[in-house]
Amino acid sequence: MMVKIGVLGLQGAVREHVRSVEACGAEAVVVKKPEQLQEIDGLIIPGGESTTMRRLMDKYGFMEPLKQFAVQGKPMFGTCAGLIILAKRIVGYEEPHLGLMDVTVERNSFGRQRESFEAELSIAGIADDFVGVFIRAPHIVEVGEDVEILAKHEDRIVAARQGQFLGCSFHPELTDDHRMTQYFVNMVRESKA
Ligand code: GLN
């Protein structure tokens, strides 16, 4: 089945996700206006800088339309800053951004020495040798009861799924290994079927 996957195109690693979605045999659209959410079957919120992305989401009127998109049950995949945008709770902040996925995240949590690094990950149901690229990455501190933990690195949760929501700390779009994106594309196909 052909599915159309949007990549929120306000800020961050947008092109790389488009390339990765296309490599998985799905159609990709860069979403720059809320109206475009109506034509897509699933959405990727990329990495970048969550505070900047949030500012642009407010400026272009994305907050309510994105919550509505979620209410329709459509799959959403947040990577790095995108995971922070999806989370219900952010350590040290009073309010979340979209507040959709039942996880608590902590920003920039791997410390200064480890601003950016690669690590081989075992991701449940996806790959046992996946190279995760971490850039000033958050991690998931705590998950709600219907959240499935997919991967950990040094005892920290770095990938999880809750039904229609998928989130990871790293950047799955920055290598030529498209298995994580393929997993999301499959989620979108299942949800559309
Ligand atoms: N540190 C960024 C933030 O807090 C996330 C970094 C990334 O997306 N690579 O938003």
Residue nearest to atom 2 of ligand 1 (CA): 49
22-36 per-position pLDDT tens digit: 999 999 999 999 999
Ligand 1, pocket-test mutation among 10, 80, 141, most atoms within 8 A of CB: 80
Both structure tokens of 116: 């950016």
Which residues share a beta bridge with 130?
Answer: 121
H or E, element range at 70: helix 63-71
Strand partners, 45: 78
Q: What is the CATH number of the domain that holds 65?
A: 3.40.50.880
How many whole angstroms from 20 Cα to the centroid of ligand 1?
A: 20
Which residue's CA is minimally distant from atom 1 of ligand 1? 136
* Number of domain units in the chain: 1
Q: What is the pLDDT of residues 122-153, one digit of tens each?
A: 999 999 999 999 999 999 999 999 999 999 99
Domain range for 103 is: 4-192
First vs last Cα of the chain: how many Å apart?
8
- pTM for the model stands at 0.97
In the prediction, which pLDDT does 1 show? Answer: 83
**CA gap 62, 25 in Å, rounded:** 27
Structure confidence at residue 109 (pLDDT) = 87
Q: Is 81 left (phi over 0), alpha (psi -120 to 50) or beta?
A: alpha
pLDDT in tens, 60-118: 999 999 999 999 999 999 999 999 999 999 999 999 999 999 999 999 988 766 689 99
Contact in structure between 132 and 116 (CB atoms under 8 Å): no
Q: Give the 3-state secondary structure of residue 77.
A: strand
The answer to whether the beta carbons of residues 43 and 80 sit under 8 Å apart is no
3-class SS letters over 82-145: HHHHHEEEECCCCCCCCCCEEEEEECCCCCHHHCEEEEEEEECCCEEEEEEEEECCCEEEEECC
At 113 the pLDDT is 61
